[in-house]
Amino acid sequence: MKVTVDQDRCVAAGQCAATAPDVFDQREDDGVVVLLTDVPPAELADDVRYAAAICPALAIHLME
């Protein structure tokens, strides 16, 4: 799985960072998503998929 994020689209809801904190974080100043790894380990795949699914801005993109 490869993960990309669209920081311009992000609305800083923080659901991704709460769901998959080893993959997503937020910038201190504005809360916009920060991608910590673009190829997460297989054991985090379900959490990453869930984070992408619940992102209110659809700012997380997955390539399986």
Q: Map out the domains of the chain as residue ranges.
A: 2-63
- What tens digit of pLDDT does each residue of 34-47 get? 999 999 999 999 99
> pLDDT at position 17, please?
98
Instruction: Quote the pTM value.
Output: 0.96
Q: Say how far apart CA 34 and CA 10 lie, in whole Å.
A: 10
**CATH number at 2-63:** 3.30.70.20
Q: Say how far apart CA 24 and CA 21 lie, in whole Å.
A: 5
Residues in contact with 43: Cβ distance below 8 Å, sequence separation at least 6, in sequence order: none
Give the mean model confidence (pLDDT) for residues 3-32.
Answer: 98
